A and B are shown apart, each in its own frame.
Chain A
Amino acid sequence: MIPDDLLKIKRYFHHKEFDKSHHDHTQHAQTGVSTQKSGTREIKVVRRVLDVNAKMAEQNRRLFADKGIFVLNVMSSPGSGKTTTLEKTLTRIMPEIKSAVIVGDICTTHDADRLANTEAPVVQINTDEFGGDCHLVAHVIEKAAVTLDLDDIEFLVVENVGNLVCPAEFDIGEDSRVVILSVTEGEDKPVKYPLMFRECEAALLNKIDLLPYLDFDKQKAIDFIHQVHPQMPVFEISAKTEEGLDAWIEWLIDKIKQKNRY
């Protein structure tokens, strides 16, 4: 169709610093090698850099589908209340929904210790073993998941490393992603980190009990979320006081049940 062609033309016109000096490529179809007048040969590669992770994520997704486990990837900046939100969520849905947690941190097991109080099995990943990574990747999830009794779990929640940038880029084989934004952060986080808010299915606006003490404009934050991701469900909660948790948990249980049905 025409739009695709247009897109290609656009791409070719787009700035490409190295290519300016030599435009004459003679393509040899079989080898994918083209000869250029400047004395270099172009060898076509056309591969996604994150191919390895994407394949591993697909493998994880199949494993979790086989076991009927709903996998949720929870992301946010540091300190927005991921651990408290998950503690409260798990306390409410267990033991009816058999849950487990994989928690990623660069260092320490503090979050895992807190989550273990919910009596859900918890696997801690410290990414510093893998080079202090700022996010969790698919193969790390696989390693952690196989230590759990996957036949006895309906819901696996992954608490990602606190970071609004990198985790959004890495598929781990999850079914759904949610992002937590707390009212102690800027209202404009969604437009500063659009990929994160585009990639997530729902947003939790946390710490609303603090609103009376802050200049945070809640409506502005929600508008920014919807500017980046129209119609995204936004749950206004306080993990601390448990205000607003019901609607979030209803949404979550519905998701888990949908997956378990298959």
Chain B
Amino acid sequence: MHEMGIALQIVEIATASLPADLSQARVAAVNLKIGKLAAVVPESLRFCFEVAIKDTPLAGAKLAIEDIPVVAKCNDCDAQWTIDEPVFVCQKCQSGSLEILSGRELDIESIEVEEETHDSG
């Protein structure tokens, strides 16, 4: 429900991350990591992103979303596993004391900027 606010934050952070010498370059993509536990609906975020990038240096950029699975580690037996359903109990020893290693992400990893063909590596 707050995807528009998040889209605007993404535009702000991504725009501020453009190096001065690349400020005129076309941004091809913004690479985002979203954990499965994050309260964000990717489809809504994509829709809002399309709207939010209009008339900004990111116009035309694609939003590439990498889903991050929920990975937990048991504090008692050190078992580590991916949580696919809402059961936060150790599969090995039934302990409820877990550390969530991943799945809460809502991170901008990088932005991809188009280069002139002659200086592509």
Residues of A within 8 A of B (CB): 3, 6-7, 10-11, 14-19, 26, 31, 33, 35-52, 131, 133-135, 163, 165-166, 168-169, 190-191, 194-195, 198, 226-231
Are B110 and A43 in contact, with the CB atoms below 8 A? yes
Are B73 and A37 in contact, with the CB atoms below 8 A? no
Nearest CB to that of B26 among chain A residues?
A40
Nearest CB to that of A132 among chain B residues?
B1
Within 8 Å of chain A (Cβ to Cβ): is B53?
Answer: no
One digit per residue, 1 when the CB lies within 8 angstroms of any chain A CB and 0 when it does not, for chain B 81-106 equals 01000111100000111001110001
With A41-B115, A49-B108 in contact, do A166 and B10 touch (Cβ < 8 Å)? no
Within 48-90 of B, Cβ neighbours of A (below 8 Å) are at: 62, 64-69, 71, 73, 80, 82, 86-89
B71 CB to nearest A CB, Å? 6
**14 sample A-B contacts, Cβ–Cβ < 8 Å, listed by A number:** A14-B67, A17-B65, A18-B29, A19-B64, A31-B19, A36-B121, A37-B120, A43-B113, A45-B13, A49-B32, A131-B4, A134-B2, A163-B1, A165-B1
Contact of A42 among B62, B88, B112, B117 (CB under 8 A): B112
Are B102 and A39 in contact, with the CB atoms below 8 A? no
Tell me what chain A mostly uses at the interface: helix, strand, loop, or mixed: mixed
Are A43 and B19 in contact, with the CB atoms below 8 A? yes
One digit per residue, 1 when the CB lies within 8 angstroms of any chain A CB and 0 when it does not, for chain B 12-36 equals 0110011100100000110110000
Are B31 and A48 in contact, with the CB atoms below 8 A? no
Please indicate the chain A residues that have their CB under 8 angstroms from the CB of B101 in the complex: 3, 7
Are B89 and A45 in contact, with the CB atoms below 8 A? no
Nearest CB to that of B121 among chain A residues?
A35
Nearest CB to that of B114 among chain A residues?
A40
Please indicate the chain A residues that have their CB under 8 angstroms from the CB of B107 in the complex: 46-49
Rounded to whole angstroms, the CA-CA distance of A46 and B17 in the bound complex is: 10
Q: Apart from A166-B1, A229-B88, A230-B88, what are 12 other A-B pairs with CB-CB below 8 Å?
A: A7-B102, A14-B66, A19-B64, A41-B114, A43-B19, A43-B111, A45-B13, A45-B14, A48-B108, A168-B39, A169-B106, A190-B86
